[in-house]
Amino acid sequence: MSVEARLGSAANFVDERTGAAKWMKKNLQKVFPDHWSFLLGEVALYSFVILLLSGTFLTFWFDPSQREVVYEGSYEPLEGIKMSAAYASALHISFEVRGGLLMRQIHHWAALIFMAAIVAHLLRVFFTGAFRKPREGNWIIGVGLLTLGIVEGFLGYSLPDDLLSGTGIRIAEAIIQALPVVGSYLAYFAFGGAFPGEAFIPRIYTVHVLLLPGAFLALITAHLMLVWYQKHTQYPGPGRTEKNVVGYPLMPTYMAKAGGFFFIVFGVTAFLAAVASINPIWLYGPYTPGQISAGSQPDWYMGWLDGLVRMAPPIETHALGYTISWNILIPGLIIPGILFTGMALYPFIEAWITGDKREHHLLDRPRNAPNRTALGAMSLTFMLVCLINGGNDIIATHFHLSINQIMWMTRFGVLILPPIAFIVTKRICLSLQRADRELVLHGRETGTLLRLPHGEFVEVHEPISPEKAYLLTSHEQLPALELPAVDGRGVKRAGALRNKLRARMSVANAEAITKVSENDLKEIEHH
Amino acid sequence: MSNQIEPIKDPGLPAHVHRQADIDPAAADRAERQVATLFWISALGAILLIVSYVFIPQDEFIFIPVMGNQNAHQLGLGLGMAISLFFIGMGAIHWAKTLMPDTEVVAQRHEFRSSDEDRKDFVDTVKSGASASALGRRSLIKRSLGAALGLSLVSPIVLLRDLGPLPGKELEKTTWKSGTHLVTDPGNRRIKASDLEVGAVAQVLPEIEDPEHRKLSDIAKDAVLLIRLRPAEFNLEPEKLAMTHDGIIAFSKICSHMGCAVALYEQQTKHLLCPCHQSTFDVTRAAKVIFGPAARPLPQLDITVDNEGYLVARKPFSEPVGPSFWERDSQ
């Protein structure tokens, strides 16, 4: 029997038992638009699968216990040293279990790639405006996944209970302990008593391997179902409209490409794990609160948070016998809280500013949304300055710089550079719009010089294709909202200050270089 | 209207360009062979993995240019796995790109918003459902339900109470008492002032009866750093100076910011630096914070010597050590 016939009878078998024929037929022909930037979310998804597989392997040998044992394994430098069972079993996986080190490194690399892919995917969605109606809910799910990813990653690298990760847990404990009123209680509950105790590793193990992966599965499922149901966004271009989806059908092309891509992501992760050492826990030694290694660094996605904490000014309030540690609360909880809440609510904030209540399925080219692009650049600059300060000790030792100067530069930089990034990015976007306008009106510079009869040299311009001209002019340019201070009957509107703010932001948001219209082209032809 | 801005027209989807494999059967056969080759390479990778697992010992190292000495077992397993997976993906994608249909398909979207009629029915259904339950009118039910739901959420919080003991005053106490001997860590040996040369640093712990079973949670509060300077180098208030002994000054090693071990001592400048967040403390001025996010100096331990010349604590710490917490009375 041929492959076709076999698959056909399988389809028949399924339908006779589920009646799914109609649904399956429709969905197997579902159209997916193609673009490299749509693969970023896929990388995140595939890394998650890799994490589940490699993580399951590790659980077969890992012993999540802080019971004290004496090391008797094959790594000689730690022979006879007292350590937790968790650390000893992580060493056992690294040195005695065949393929154990490979799986540990795959798991850690996949976690780094997972977070990087989530961030890159988030940036793609942000800068192209894919979060707009009707996809605000999916944006919020995405922000939730990012947040969970940070927590899950932190818990994961805390599990081996080595000197570096124990130091990270110590810092987490200090943040909990700094919470006003309930801090020391919560810390004692979380650690089952005084830090470090013997309860924390087993507890976060359950959270790391059961609770959070469960939450991930639920959220990822919802995320994908929404993508499926709402259909994918697409980039603008000839033949692409708000009313259609242009791409390849799921079966077979998209299935083969997406399935193949999973193996490529897995293969690349395995390659990294084979050749690039990551988190060599045996070099750090077991955790003890009295020791530390210089150059203590968290994983990259925690770096910005660490950098913020490092640059915080030394402010504590002591009053009436109580202490509030602003130097921990502001960088450790308040600023991240504001950032992530603002990020989650951004689709609604933008819709409020533009007053746009329509559905959007065509993506924006970032230059055509200068304000949003500038805001993104501003946030990235903030994060980058924080991240640089998170590695200030490493930068100082590698480049022979003064750590104090780096700290002061980032303390000022974190306030000054983001607004500069906003202004510069917005100007660049508007200039790019101007360049687009030039291109449509006067065509492409060919680099061919022409000498005119009277001796003048001119460069020959070549008109661009109608497809390109359409791409460069198909975006919308909405006017700013008109929000008069009084309504139609001459009554002053409520919330005057809010309206003023909204009108002001709407004007800034609508700033654009007028795109070329058919009329402009006709006018040029007349000349 | 004549001055209406007219956008540039959509020229529609560009015409489909055929690939070589679509029009030339020889090219299609070539593509098939390429895909098959990629899959065979993957199979070789899997064999490399199995061979490495079975035949290369775990302690076998080989020298590879650029990478240096590498564990052959780990490298063989990893590369075998990488090749076996990566080339399955390459094969599948090459197959899709050369031999599967590449004609773009257009599907229509439909606005999610339902027809006005359906929406009205929906809203009416919700409204009539809500009014049938009389939730709006029967405020007694509404309030009692709210209270019941709220209280039911409290129970899981109550059930988590036994996660740990109450902190009590524990955060403010350490093992140090009047007369506790300072012992080396590691080693648990008593030390004399003469054991420390000028410029030397040592980590010490309080002497306990059973040092073999010292708890990490005690070390997290008890760890102390001894530093010996020339007495003239101190710039201390009299009562702080009285807490030193013969140029030896003792500080809690637990950072007053977030509890890391303040382990980096710069002999030239007499500064202590915490590697976590770079809080910097000046040893000559009783660990005053001169840089970084820490808001308080490291607590100083009052030390002296006993009759036999061994270093002891004269008094326990006069303030809680480690990071701040709400109940900390810092004055």
What integer pLDDT is reported at residue B4 of this predicted model?
59
Q: What is the CATH number of the domain that holds B203?
A: 2.102.10.10
C-alpha distance across the termini of chain A, in Å: 70
Q: Which of B98, B119, B150 is the last residue of a domain?
A: B98
Residues in A closer than 8 angstroms to B291, CB to CB, are: 404, 407
Highest mean pLDDT (candidates A358-367, A492-501, B132-141): A358-367
- How confident is residue A527, by pLDDT bands cut at 50, 70 and 90? low
Domain ranges for chain A, please list them: 33-288+316-364, 365-477+512-527
Let me know: does A279 contact A108? Beta carbons within 8 Å. yes
Residue B327 belongs to a domain = no
Task: Compute CA distances A361 → A132, A230, A344, whole Å.
Answer: 8, 9, 20
Residue-wise pLDDT tens digits, A13-59? 999 998 888 888 888 888 999 899 999 999 999 999 999 999 999 99
CB contact, 8 Å: B327 with chain A? yes
Query: For an interface test with A, which of B50, B66, B74, B265 has the most A Cβ atoms less than 10 Å from its Cβ?
Result: B74
DSSP state of A332: I
The CA distances from residue A129 to A361, A428, B325, in Å, are 9, 18, 43
Summarised one tens digit per residue, pLDDT across range A475-507 is 988 888 887 777 777 777 777 788 888 888 999
Would you tell me which residues 364-393 of chain A have a C-beta closer than 8 angstroms to some C-beta of chain B? Answer: 392-393
The yes-or-no verdict on residue B96 having pLDDT over 60 is yes
Q: Tell whether B248 is covered by a domain.
A: yes
CATH code for the structural domain at A33-288+316-364: 1.20.810.10
Average pLDDT rounded to a whole number, residues A395-412:
92
Asked, for residue B166, whether it belongs to a domain, the answer is: no
Interchain pair B278, A403: CB under 8 A: yes
Output the pLDDT for position B331: 56
Q: Among A514, A429, A419, A521, which Cα is nearest to A476's?
A: A514
What DSSP string runs through A370-425?
HHHHHHHHHHHHHHHHHHHHHTHHHHHHHHT--HHHHHHHHHHHHHHHHHHHHHHH
A&B contacts, CB < 8 Å: 331
Q: Choose the most confident range, by mean pLDDT, from A472-481, B22-31, B85-94, B109-118.
A: B85-94
Q: Would B185 be classed as within a structural domain?
A: yes
Largest Cα–Cα distance in chain A?
94
Verify whether the Cβ–Cβ distance B164 to A178 is below 8 Å. Answer: no
Locate A40 and state its tokens.
Answer: 């970023």
Q: Give the amino acid at A42.
A: E
Could you report the predicted ipTM of this complex, rounded to two decimals?
Answer: 0.91
pLDDT at B6: 80
The pLDDT assigned to B248 comes to 93
Which of B20, B9, B11, B17 lies closest to B104, judged by CA? B17
Nearest-Cα residue of chain B relative to residue A411 = B292
Say whether B109 and A231 touch across the interface (CB within 8 A): yes
Q: Assess whether the previous peptide bond of A419 is cis (omega < 30° from 0).
A: no
Note the pLDDT of residue A253.
87
β-sheet bridge partners, residue A409:
none
Among the candidates B55, B71, B98, a domain finishes at B98
Domain that holds residue B49: 20-98
Question: Phi and psi for B224 in degrees, rounded to 5?
Answer: -130, 145
**Overall domain count for chain B:** 2
Q: What percent of chain B has pLDDT over 70?
A: 98
CB burial class (10 A; 0-12, 13-18, 19+) of residue A165? buried
At residue B2 the predicted structure's pLDDT band, cuts being 50, 70 and 90, is very low
A144-154 per-position pLDDT tens digit: 999 999 999 99
Percentage, residues of chain B above pLDDT 90? 66
Q: Which of A280-294, B81-95, B123-137, B239-253 has the lowest mean pLDDT?
A: B123-137
What is the arithmetic mean of pLDDT over A324-328?
93
Task: Give the domain-ending residue among B98, B122, B153.
Answer: B98
Spatial distance between the Cα atoms of B239 and A437, rounded to a whole number of angstroms = 76
Q: Is the peptide bond before A134 cis (omega within 30 degrees of 0)?
A: yes
